[in-house]
Amino acid sequence: MKYKIKYYFNFLVIISLLIIPWPTFASDFNPNFIISDEELQNWQSMSRADIQAFLDNKDGYISSFRSEDWEGTRRMASDIIWRAAREYKINPKYLLVKLQKEQSLITVKDPTQKQLDWATGYGVCDSCSMSDPDIQKHKGFGTQVDKAAGIMRWYYDNVSQENWIKRPGVAYMIDSTSVVPTTYATGFLYTYTPHIHGNLNFWNLWQQWFEQVYPDGTLVKIEGDPTVYVIQDGKKRAFKNMSALVTRYNPKMLITIPESELARYAEGAQIALPNYSILKNDEKYYLIDYDYIRPFESYEVVKSYGFHPDEIIEITPDDIEGYTTGTTITANKPDLLGRLVRARETKELFYLKDGIYHPIIDEITAKTNYPDLSVEHVSISDLDNYTPGNSTLLRDGTLFGITGSSKIYVVENGKKRHIASEEVFNGLGYSWDNIVWVNQFTGMLHEIGEPIYLRSTTTPSPDTTTIAKEDITAETPAETIAQDDDEKEPIDYMVKTPEDEFAFIGPQFDTEMDSYLIADYSTGEILAGKNVDTIRPMASFTKVMTAYQLLKDGANLYRSTTYDPSIHKSSYHMFRIVEGERIKNEHLMWAMLVSSLNTPARMLVNSEQVQDDAFIRRMNNQVEEWGLEKTSFADTYGVSENNKTTVREYLTLFTNSIKNRDLKNYLGMRSYEYDEILDKDGQPHHFDLNSNLLMEKNGLEYNIIASKTGFTYDAGSCLVMLVQRNSDNKEFVIITMGNPDFGKNTRFNEPENLAQWAMEL
């Protein structure tokens, strides 16, 4: 009975407080409820890669910051956050918000040492000095993050024994305001930070970062209301009419969402004018170009484009308020409204606009982005009058998958945001029919953004974290592979070693990479390794053996090869070359090893005659001579999953191969540029940086002497490097295979961590 009396009393306290006028707070902020217990304890809400993607997206100092954790091991900030969240079963989102709220560390570019040392404000009271000897044990980024997570778990474990820990149903005077927490999580936030304003800041950050789940470019409406909105810059912008909508977006992408969700977004400027409208205000003329209003230099310029006077809309200055002023339109250019063209000679697609040409890697991109444009056929020389631009990305709001993978993404600000599960996909109201499927190169072109989850009142199912939809396409089988009981993370079709078969050599580096190895280059001794005898697809690691065999066979690199697509074109042909163009063989070697392009490998191998099979037999015979029983080749450039090796055997292959001084030098090139010997398309010049982004990074504790990258979906991301330690010139070979991070930029984070760790062995 005493528990019923206590509950009834607390209920009356809460009800009475709800009718008392509150001080003015940010819209919808309720001091009694900040976050739920489910939210605070959702420790699986973000993987380590998710956290790194979030930090990269915010582009603050700690996105690349490495510090000692509470045990003294140097790790990336994302790794420290992930480990603390996992250890104490506390949401990593809580730690991210805490770091920003206390010291602005998520976004600040140049923090002070004090900001880093007291990252979460743990142990520092309002009246405390940060130099107080009694709190120095709490100092340090890794320690601060660990303790911020640990204290929340301690509160949960000890709230029933410690009356000073704030709890639900009890009234507390905080900043002269009576607050009755409705969740333990809310009470614990006030225990940690006993101020309303500090917790308002926490709430604002949480809402901004994690509560508005629909990405920019999403078309939304609510049931029973015909008004359509687009989410843009975190606001909802209503379309005044259908023509304003259909000239900008595909209406079939429209989703219906709850009114409560729409209410979370602030009102943005209404979109009233159709895209590419011609406007007139007084004697000035304008073109609406999406979010830009572009002035015409004169009415004569308007007429030169053939616009009819009846097409011109009279406006007032208020009609164009909120638009950004774009570049002035001065000359009659045929691509003012955008053109889609295909080069007759190369069959390549380009989008032309404003004197710039943008390559289109995948035809699906053209159909998705420009459904109303017909393809014009032009000569490649017609592009000489244009400036080259970036490759075309899918438009914001596009749902896409990558052929061969079950992950689904939505594009926002040019980045791909992984939709965490089928439950999330359906919960957001998306339609499976609206997914477009692109090749892996188009997928890789989009950098990784933050993943998308449902609002945290509904946690992602731990057993279905990979989207799987039966019969969407033959290349996307419905499949979810369970991992250990502690954590389920989304995977593709990457070959993985079962956890009960993990094997280590030497000290262990904690990583999700399936296999790694660190060896003393001078002796070949393996200093540390994981799953070094697991057989794995080797992807473009294959090209090192191809290059070695070519040099062993006496390939004349000073001769040239003429491109014949019937015998030279490879799978995933990304080499810019047209039939009949002639390139020096040494330059083909650069393109194969430095850019990791596939077609140059076939051109080199077939420079005399079609001889792939015989050449591959010689490659396999060579590794047999080296005693490599688990290594074999099925092609010359690494696409086949039957190009296989282990990290132990690849150590031998790599070290033997780079005994050839020329090959070692090629693998050490940071960049290259060359001109075709015979040019057919008016674009003779080629240049590129090394596909290993670490070779462009400053401040490393080692120099990269030679390296090769690799990637396929079954192999994962792979990297081999010969490095020299700056402190003593000692050389190491570092090999990573089965890295599950497929991000174009982020895939090098974990190998960099491993290499840094290796420097301390």
Full DSSP string of 654-678: HHHHTTSHHHHHHHT-SEEEEE-SB
Q: Are residues 431 and 254 in contact, defined by beta-carbon separation less than 8 angstroms?
A: no
The confidence score (pLDDT) of residue 130 equals 67
The confidence score (pLDDT) of residue 713 equals 83
The confidence score (pLDDT) of residue 486 equals 32
- Mean pLDDT score, 547-556: 94
The CATH number that domain 394-485 falls under is 3.30.2390
Residue 519: its H or E element: strand 515-520
Q: Which amino acid is at 260?
A: S
What does the alpha-carbon distance between residue 424 and residue 401 come to, in Å, rounded to a whole number? 15
Going by pLDDT thresholds of 50, 70 and 90, the confidence category of residue 180 is very high
Q: 670: left (phi > 0), else alpha (psi -120 to 50), else beta?
A: alpha
**Which whole-number Å values give the CA distances from 358 to 191, 235, 344, 595, 685, in the listed order?**
55, 29, 16, 20, 17
What does the alpha-carbon distance between residue 435 and residue 431 come to, in Å, rounded to a whole number? 8
Cβ contacts of 578 within 8 Å, gap of 6 or more: 345, 346, 380, 563, 680, 681
Going by pLDDT thresholds of 50, 70 and 90, the confidence category of residue 420 is confident
* Residue that is written with structure tokens 């490659």 in the block: 619
On the question of pLDDT at 1 being above 70, the answer is: no
What does the DSSP 8-state code read for residue 723?
Answer: E
The confidence score (pLDDT) of residue 546 equals 97
Q: Which amino acid is at 133?
A: P
The confidence score (pLDDT) of residue 594 equals 95
For 73-89, give one letter per residue: b (16+ CB within 10 A) or e: bbbbbbbbbbbbbbebb
What does the alpha-carbon distance between residue 609 and residue 140 come to, in Å, rounded to a whole number? 63
Assigned superfamily of 504-758: DD-peptidase/beta-lactamase superfamily (3.40.710.10)
Going by pLDDT thresholds of 50, 70 and 90, the confidence category of residue 125 is low
Going by pLDDT thresholds of 50, 70 and 90, the confidence category of residue 630 is very high
Contacts 24+ apart (CB under 8 A), 608-612: 610/567, 612/636
The confidence score (pLDDT) of residue 601 equals 94
End-to-end CA distance of the chain: 64
Minimum mean pLDDT among 37-41, 283-287, 376-380, 418-422: which range?
A: 418-422
What does the alpha-carbon distance between residue 273 and residue 329 come to, in Å, rounded to a whole number? 19
| Length of the chain, in residues | 761
Closest CA to 389 of 436, 345, 338: 338
| Residue-range domain boundaries for the chain | 2-211, 219-267, 278-325, 339-388, 394-485, 504-758
Each residue of 708-755: pLDDT tens digit? 999 988 899 999 999 999 999 999 999 999 998 876 667 898 999 999
On the question of pLDDT at 611 being above 50, the answer is: yes
DSSP annotation string for 375-399: EEEE-GGGGGGSEE-PPPPPPTT-E
Closest CA to 84 of 140, 13, 9: 140
* Residue that is written with structure tokens 């003779």 in the block: 684
The confidence score (pLDDT) of residue 744 equals 67
What does the DSSP 8-state code read for residue 318?
Answer: G
544 or 267, greater pLDDT: 544
The confidence score (pLDDT) of residue 354 equals 86
Domains 394-485 and 504-758 agree in fold: no
On the question of pLDDT at 579 being above 90, the answer is: yes
The confidence score (pLDDT) of residue 12 equals 36
Q: Is 24 exposed, middle or buried (0-12, 13-18, 19+ CB in 10 A)?
A: exposed
On the question of pLDDT at 47 being above 60, the answer is: yes
Name the average pLDDT for the chain.
85
Centre a 10 Å sphere on the Cβ of residue 515 and count the other Cβ atoms it contains: 29
What is the percentage of the chain residues whose pLDDT exceeds 90?
A: 52
Q: Are residues 532 and 754 in contact, defined by beta-carbon separation less than 8 angstroms?
A: no
Q: Which amino acid is at 566?
A: S
Against a cut of 0.75, is the pTM above it?
Answer: no
Closest CA to 229 of 353, 397, 358, 110: 397
Going by pLDDT thresholds of 50, 70 and 90, the confidence category of residue 493 is low
Q: Which amino acid is at 184?
A: Y
Closest CA to 701 of 756, 758, 757, 761: 756
Centre a 10 Å sphere on the Cβ of residue 235 and count the other Cβ atoms it contains: 15
For domain 339-388, give the fold.
TTHA1013/TTHA0281-like (3.30.2390)
Q: What are the structure tokens assigned to 337, written together?
A: 């409204």
Closest CA to 394 of 337, 439, 342, 339: 439
What does the alpha-carbon distance between residue 633 and residue 624 come to, in Å, rounded to a whole number? 11
Each residue of 649-675: pLDDT tens digit? 999 999 999 999 999 999 999 998 999
The confidence score (pLDDT) of residue 19 equals 36
On the question of pLDDT at 3 being above 60, the answer is: no
